[in-house]
Structure 1
Amino acid sequence: MKALKIGKILLAEPFMLDPNFKRAAVILCDHGGEGSIGFVINRPLNHQINAILEDFPEFEAEVFFGGPVEADTTLHYLHNVGDLLEGSVKISNGVYWGGDFEKLKFLISSELIEPHNIRFFLGYTGWGEGQLEEEMSTGSWVIADADANYLFKTEPSELWQEIMQNKGSTYTVIAQMPDSANWN
């Protein structure tokens, strides 16, 4: 089993019943002794950022469901402009988390950040100490390598299947399994 670490993608096993994580692709952004944090990267909420934040520049960016923790109060963002946004944390090549929010608004107003450079998330996915390792040992998640294209260039509805297929071998077969056993 590949080691759990920041920048990995966790793919929900194909028959996970929890509606928050059914066919979810989660990018792991923090992982340590106290637990782990990630964001579901393939669940758009069908809301634009301006519908959620009043004091924000006009911006055509969709907001995603990051996970069930603080889903109604906490906004996070992943982007590919780490060098422009002070305080951002590198998650993997071409993927950064957070950064100075006022500078973000300035960069958006200046058209230096465009919608294809950023993903906004309401809430996050969190695991307590040892919880993610336990879920891994029961086969709840498949680990994949992150790629910035997954966040910024791939259609969210195709993400789980594409990442699973990119793992090759048995995972290509898993990716082709129907979303519901009722379809068999």
Structure 2
Amino acid sequence: MLNNIKPKIGRLLISEPFMADPNFKRSVVLLTEHGDEGSVGYILNQAGNLLLKDVIQDLWQADNHIYFGGPVAADTLHFIHRCYDQMQSGEPIGDGLYWGGNFETLRILINTNAISENDVKFFMGYSGWDEGQLDREIEQNAWMVSDIPDPDTIFSNDDEKLWRDVIVNLGPKYAHISNFPADPSLN
């Protein structure tokens, strides 16, 4: 195992720099579920080409990018937010972050500019692991596990920088990994 931090709800999974799976290449995943039955999370640094207003027509001002959350149920929309005070709904995942909630309330908050684009992040699909699968992948050094360095990290819109920043946050032992080229043949 690359580091000794165990996965749990509210922690980050950071893919090793040369992961072969194109869905997770240089990805940072926020875990929203982790238990005996498996794990669920969302890739934080794979912005798609769609904006929220492109997918939900009555959100006329929603310029939020929709991120690729993972390869499971890629036709479903999910969200992470930090506006519980306004929404009064969502599952807590730590550090003032919530998963899901009342979408109708969220729709009103977006249309009335009561929340900022930096308070909510949307995903098509999610990342999922069966019972024990994630633990095996961590043992095989496919993932590093980290606490969230700062809740603002979750809402970053600089995909490559996000991956590098969370690796550097792991400490000097891992910082050099952040400089590895995306294509190992360029090393």
TM-score by length of 2: 0.93
Question: What residue identity is the alignment partner of 2:102?
Answer: D
Unaligned runs of 5+ in 2: none
The residue matched to 1:74 in structure 2 has which SS?
strand
Correspondence for 1:88 = 90
Which string of whole-angstrom CA distances, capped at 9 and with x for unpartnered residues, describes residues 65-108 of structure 1?
0000011x210011111222132112121321111010101111
Displacement of 1:115 in angstroms is: 1.0
Identity fraction in percent: 39
Who is 2:77 aligned against? 75
Q: Any conservation in 2 of the 1:57–1:105 contact (CA below 8 Å)?
A: no
Q: Over residues 137-162 of structure 1, what are the superposed CA-to-partner deviations in whole Å (9 max), with x where a residue is unaligned?
A: 11110001113111224622211111
Number of residue pairs aligned between Structure 1 and Structure 2: 183
Which residue type is aligned with residue 120 of structure 1?
F
Give ranges in structure 1 of 5+ residues lacking alignment.
none
1:134 is aligned to 2:136: yes
Cα distance in 2, alignment partners of residues 23 and 150 from structure 1: 15
- Which whole-Å CA distance do the structure 2 matches of 1:113 and 1:42 have between them? 21
Contact 2:16–2:143 under 8 Å retained in 1: yes
C-alpha separation between the residues in 2 aligned to 1:109 and 1:53?
12
Report the counterpart of residue 9 of structure 1 in structure 2: 12
Q: Normalization by structure 1: what TM-score?
A: 0.94
- 1:47 is displaced (CA, Å) by 1.1
Aligned residue number for residue 26 of structure 1: 29
Letter in 1 for 2:48: L
Partner of 1:58: 61
Which residue does 2:111 correspond to in 1? 109
Give the one of 64, 79, 102 matched to 1:100: 102
User: What is the identity, as a one-letter code, of the residue corresponding to 1:47?
Assistant: L
Matched, 1:121 2:123: yes
Q: Given that residues 50 and 66 in structure 2 are in contact (C-alpha distance below 8 angstroms), is that contact kept between their aligned partners in structure 1?
A: yes
AA aligned opposite 2:25: K
**Once the 2 structures are TM-superposed, how far is the Cα of residue 36 of structure 1 from its aligned partner?**
0.5
Alignment check: 8 A CA contact 1:28 1:38 kept: yes
Q: Say if 2:146 is the partner of 1:181.
A: no
